[in-house]
Amino acid sequence: MSRHELRFRQIHLDFHTSPMIPGIGKAFDKKLWQERLQMAHVDSITCFSCCHHGYSYHPTEVGEIHPGLDFDLLRAQIDACHEINVKVPIYITAGVNNRVAEQEPGWRELNFEGRYVGWQPSPVLPGFKSLCFNSPYMDYLCRYIEEAARLFPDADGMFFDIIGQNQCCCPWCMRDMKKAGFDPTSESDRKIFSDQIIEKYMKRSTEAARSVRADMPVLHNAGHYLGPGFKHLSKYFSHLELESLPTGGWGYDHYPLMAAYCRTQELDFLGMTGKFHSTWGEFGGFKSANALRYECCAMLAQGSKCSVGDQLHPAGMPDESTYRLIGEAYADVEKKEPWCSHVSSVAEVAILSNEGVNGWTDENGHVEIGISRFLLESHIPFDRLDSWAEFDNYKVLILGDNLRCDGKLLERVKKFIANGGKVILSGTSIFKKECDEAAFDLPVDVGELNMQIPNFIKVAEGFAPEGVNTPFVMYRPSVNIKVKGGKSLGELYEPYFTRTYEHFCSHQHTPNKTETSGYAAGVMTEDILYFAHPVFTLYAYYGNVVLKQFLLNAVNAFVGKEKLQVVTDLPSQGRVSLLEQKEEKRYIFHALYAVTSLRGMASAPFMSGMRATSPVEVIEDLTPVCNVNFEVKVDKKVVKAKLVPENVEIPFVYENGKVKFSLEKLQCHQMVELEY
């Protein structure tokens, strides 16, 4: 199947509608529907076949049409959209379906404690119910998908939602785990089994979707299954859609990290934000126009297409205010598309994914968030790799905090080093996977973890943060190392004692002893930079600017500031990326700038059925920054630089493989075409 090319300006139109609501679709008007989409510059919209409540929005013999609907709403939506050249993938809920769960409770997921799995812990609280893909529900789901494929052969794709399999212990899973030789009492066995069930689900549902049309595009909205470690599942996808609502719980860190992996894959992909101030299902909620514009531009800068999540009112007509809001962002996207299509990353730094090597855990995810934040804020373009990815295109590889290499991967990393690559290690990534022995040839004596917590580091000259020449605190254990060669990053100081009820000092923790411990903060050689602490986890958790300055100073010294791909005086809230359009013979440099502020407070639900509140990152103002300077290292000689889509040439200097230029004003997003 050839690569499926996505459109740039998409809407994901949620329509999870209670059976208690009457008059479904009564306000649908083809002409007004078309006008709203055109006003918003929309070129693709995902519409519903079956929602989480379990009801269909068209006649069905397998499922059940919504009791408040008396016509084929999905067919009307598809026909109206196709008349104006707007594509319509169709949505089918998969992992949750309340109508089916209530009719067939034996098909529901059970956790290892024997309780039903769902979005609420109690049956008397409102929420959706999870179904087991290893139960007869899978047969029902495939029949439903096959029917939808027959009814809507002209659909522009199928979107299957809530794809996941918990460590289910329903009778079907218990039976099949035992039959396959798994131990249901073992968490690791339950996890392996659940991953096998996910692949079986993907194979069967994809076959069902393509039962009428072999080229039907398919997307499984599968969370971390879209990320590192699950490349073997990519054959069941025609493209990728990365659900990532910054104000809906994902934050502004999530998308750049996911995109850094997806753009290294062969599939086209899009980012999915939302028009809501908070998250899905927020009727009457509106994100600021500036935030939506920034988020769409950030998707383009990461090499992806755009999707905005909305929820259709039960009456069936898109909200005018919403589509004016979306239109402001999508008008901008439409102008920029020629410079954002068929792009590839030319990043020289890569994160070797902790999740891709060791599997998904919160801890692994937090390590990578810390690395990503550091690189984004330092304006260092990067990609994110699985353990089986090619390393040859990169100059620097980062193995963060707890990533230990097994024999095969270690051999590949050492080959990368032998071929001139540089590696950054931290924390226990210095060790072999199978034991606490040094995996890399470093001029250090390696000991145990130093459990005197917190400890402190006095950074060596040349690496120290500006104005800090005394020990600063580190809140996680370090590996005890003594440097015998290379360059020490600094000295480790221990506290007088760890804090307990028997001995504590002051409000928070004990200060450092005045004498050094004899251990080092890290070491730098020609090809390896090693931090003895889990520095990226620490940065993710604490956001310590002094720590970031230490890391950046060390990286600059290790790589050579003159060899960094981007050098700029853009503030740390700014973001940069460098992509290439090979057919057009040009690089596209993206610069973004917006400041997030924390708004709102944590509070309990006002009443049962409402969500709790929590602080949320908000972009309200797009404050410009002026006279920003850039030096960008490129492989090909640049002959022209211009602002796009404005088509305004700007002065530049190209020398020694670097192109130097300035932006008089950067407000939100600016692309610079560097023609070669």
Q: Which of 310-319, 331-340, 354-363 has the lowest mean pLDDT?
A: 354-363
Report the candidate in 88, 78, 80, 174 with the shortest Cα–Cα distance to residue 134.
174
Q: Which of 21-35, 317-331, 392-406, 602-616 has the lowest mean pLDDT?
A: 602-616
> What architecture (CATH level 2) is domain 348-564?
3-Layer(aba) Sandwich (3.40)
Q: b/e string for 74-110 if b means 16 or more Cβ within 10 A?
A: bbbbbebbeeeebbbbbbbbbbbbbbbbeeeeebbbb
The pLDDT value recorded for residue 561 is 86
d(CA 310, CA 301): 23
Task: Give the CATH fold of the 567-675 domain.
Answer: Immunoglobulin-like (2.60.40)
**Pick the residue with more confidence: 610 or 186?**
186
Instruction: Give domain limits for the chain.
Output: 9-95+135-163+218-341, 348-564, 567-675
The pLDDT value recorded for residue 225 is 86
d(CA 141, CA 164): 14
d(CA 53, CA 96): 8
**Average pLDDT score over residue span 277-290:** 95
Report the candidate in 622, 650, 648, 416 with the shortest Cα–Cα distance to residue 527.
416
Q: Give the H/E segment covering residue 240.
A: strand 240-243
Contact 521, 488 (CB under 8 A): yes
Residue with tokens 């529907």: 33
Helix (H, G, I), strand (E, B) or coil at 101: helix
**Average pLDDT score over residue span 436-448:** 94
CATH code of the domain occupying 9-95+135-163+218-341: 3.20.20.80
d(CA 326, CA 336): 16
The region that residue 212 occupies, defined by phi over 0 for left and psi between -120 and 50 for alpha, beta otherwise, is alpha
Contact 327, 39 (CB under 8 A): yes
Residue 303 amino acid letter: G
d(CA 320, CA 328): 13
Alpha-carbon dihedral angle through residues 259, 261, 265, 267, given to the nearest 10 degrees: -30
Helices (DSSP H) in 210-353: which residue ranges?
254-262, 289-301, 320-336
Residues above pLDDT 90, as percent of the chain: 92
Helix (H, G, I), strand (E, B) or coil at 560: coil
User: Whole-number mean pLDDT of the chain?
Assistant: 96
Confidence of residue 120 (pLDDT cuts 50, 70, 90): confident
Contact 23, 315 (CB under 8 A): yes
Q: Does residue 15 carry a pLDDT above 70?
A: yes
Residues above pLDDT 70, as percent of the chain: 100
**Average pLDDT score over residue span 358-374:** 92
| Residue 247 half-sphere exposure toward CB, CA atoms < 13 A | 28
The pLDDT value recorded for residue 609 is 81
pLDDT digits 0-9 by tens, 570-596:
999 999 999 999 999 999 999 999 999
> Angle formed by the axes of helices 171-179 and 187-209, to 10°?
110
Instruction: Give, rounded to a whole angstrom, the gap between the first and last alpha carbons of the chain.
Output: 33
Q: Name the pTM for this structure.
A: 0.95
Q: Does residue 429 carry a pLDDT above 70?
A: yes
Q: How many other C-beta atoms are found inside a 10 Å radius of the C-beta of residue 31?
A: 8
> Angle formed by the axes of helices 362-377 and 545-559, to 10°?
70
Q: Is 613 exposed, middle or buried (0-12, 13-18, 19+ CB in 10 A)?
A: middle
d(CA 132, CA 220): 16
| Residue 325 half-sphere exposure toward CB, CA atoms < 13 A | 24
Distance of CA 168 to the CA centre of its chain: 26
Q: Does residue 236 carry a pLDDT above 60?
A: yes
| C-alpha dihedral sign at 316, 318, 321, 325 | positive
Residue with tokens 């796009």: 644
Residue with tokens 């079907």: 172
Q: How many other C-beta atoms are found inside a 10 Å radius of the C-beta of residue 635?
A: 10
Report the candidate in 315, 324, 398, 386 with the shortest Cα–Cα distance to residue 355.
386
Contact 565, 633 (CB under 8 A): yes
The pLDDT value recorded for residue 362 is 87
Contact 429, 410 (CB under 8 A): no
Q: Is 508 exposed, middle or buried (0-12, 13-18, 19+ CB in 10 A)?
A: exposed
Q: 331: Cβ–Cβ under 8 A, 6 or more apart, which residues?
A: 41
The pLDDT value recorded for residue 631 is 98
Distances in Å between the Cα of 5 and the Cα atoms of 2, 90, 178, 343 are: 9, 17, 43, 12
d(CA 559, CA 139): 55
**Average pLDDT score over residue span 514-529:** 97
Distance of CA 417 to the CA centre of its chain: 28
d(CA 606, CA 220): 35
Report the candidate in 540, 564, 531 with the shortest Cα–Cα distance to residue 379.
564
Confidence of residue 1 (pLDDT cuts 50, 70, 90): low
- Give the tokens for residue 314: 């039960």
Distances in Å between the Cα of 449 and the Cα atoms of 52, 99, 336, 435, 446 are: 48, 53, 51, 13, 9
Contact 184, 178 (CB under 8 A): yes
